[in-house]
Amino acid sequence: MRLPNLRRLLTPPRAFALGAGFLIAAGQAPLGFWPVAVAGLVMAAIAWRMALTPGQAALRGWLVGFSTFLISLNWIVNPFLVEPMRDGWMIPFALFFMAGGLALFWALAFFLAKILKTGLPGLAGFWGAAELARGHIFTGFPWAMPGYIWLDTPLAQLAAFIGPYGLTALSFAFAALLAHAVLKRSLRIGAVAAVLFAAAFMVGWQRQSAPLPPDRDHAIRVVQPNAPQHLKWDPAYIAQFYRRALSVTPPEGADLVIWPETSVAAPLYAAGPELFEIAQTAAPARAVVGLNRVDGMQGYNTAVLLDEQGRVADLYDKHHLVPFGEYMPLPWLLERIGLRAFTAQNGYGYSAGPGPHLMDMGALGSALPLICYEAIFPRDLRTETRPDWLLQMTNDAWFGTFSGPQQALAQARFRAIETGLPMVRAANTGISALIDAHGGLRAAIPLGTSGAFTADLPGALPETVYVRLKEAPVWALLTLLVLSGGIGTTLRRGRKTD
């Protein structure tokens, strides 16, 4: 494309919208620059306010979303680099189509707010609704929600009341108020925004500073073998990774030893010798391991709790699968152009399990297993009986060595805050961690290293407001924002008519 054409396409308002998205992305892990992200959200709101037509608003919303997700989700290229000669050609399509597709949710929010003339509060409401929709439509993909920028600040604790979608909507509302202050050049409105921010900060600080329940008198041991994805299924390395994990399996006083997702290479029907050896090495503790399971013509990504002899005492089959990663939508069509599921061996994909399932861990109480991707969905943690703790078994080697694993850990910490439950995280290449009910890190194994840790299981807080009410507070907040924006616009029109 010639430079003059590029200049005509990338007008200053469009460049401003793109820049806003880049700043918003800077708030996500591992950078965590939340003040920069807030500035980006304010710029996005200003870009919407300055749009003259719904079409302009939609384009600017799309540009903000595109640059936000392009940067935040840069790790999406890593699965294609495991076998680059075969899959590398798909990188531009995956990265740009993913960012562009997710940005359509923001484009629709900006369009609706402009065509319905709801004002900046209404924009915040529709923008928050777009994020809620992004987390559910087509099985959902709520990765990199703007609410996650508050991790490691007291504001993250508000997720215990309104969840990540509510925290995201609140972030949009705060940005809209700041944008209004900037556009009106009003110190009074800016002061109101500062007071509201301080009030929310104090609510979060109060929860964060409240003492946690005492730790349990029982410990867990988490094993991290560090098997790089490009070598994980290589027959020349499988035994090496297995022995590496086994060498750090002795429990050191723990009651349970945890291996990560698919850390046993053999499928369940052929893994008897390995499971017996793991159980004997972990004794007197029990062990839970990740592997593949085959039942007839169906394969499952499974977590297995072993008894003292290495037999299956309980198992859980992953039920929320990764589109294009663990199964192929419309396989009859996509297989014709050579697209395969990445994380399943041979590309044939997995079948989904029946749903959430609690495992009885004896003295440690009941645990809710989550396999990898499932931990990014708040709704996947909802069970009829409340567990005593959360167990995530994952293989984040697919996500690369920079932002992907860091963002996965950040989301796991939010799940602990939302539920008031501790989480144990066993990751193949890291970051394995023990997370308390406030989302704090009690123990961790760095990314890209092998090892293990033993630590007492933190206590659980009482059931949170968010667990009880689910998304009801979010819908109330979104409705309030949209209605207040519409009412404000109507009143301003009335004053002009008078």
Query: Catalytic amino acids?
Result: 261, 318, 372
Which among 214, 162, 199 is positioned nearest to 418, based on CA atoms? Answer: 162
Tell me the backbone φ, ψ of residue 170, rounded to 5 degrees.
-65, -35
Quote the Cα angle for 449-452-457, to 5°: 130
Residue 219 has which token pair?
Answer: 């410990």
Distance CA(175)–CA(121), nearest Å, equals: 10
First to last CA, the chain: 52
Backbone φ, ψ for residue 467 (5° rounding): -65, -40
Question: Do residues 459 and 212 make contact, with C-beta atoms less than 8 angstroms apart?
Answer: yes
Placement of tokens 């209004």 in the chain:
180
Burial environment of residue 4 by CB neighbours within 10 A (0 to 12, 13 to 18, 19 or more)? exposed
Ranges of beta strands (E only) in 225-311 are 256-258, 286-295, 298-306
Give the list of residues 6+ apart from residue 152 with CB closer than 8 angstroms, or none.
Answer: 32
AA letter at 72: S
Exposure letters 119-158 (e unless 16+ CB within 10 A, then b)? bbbbbbbbbbbbbbbbbeeeebbbbbbbbbbbbeebbbbb
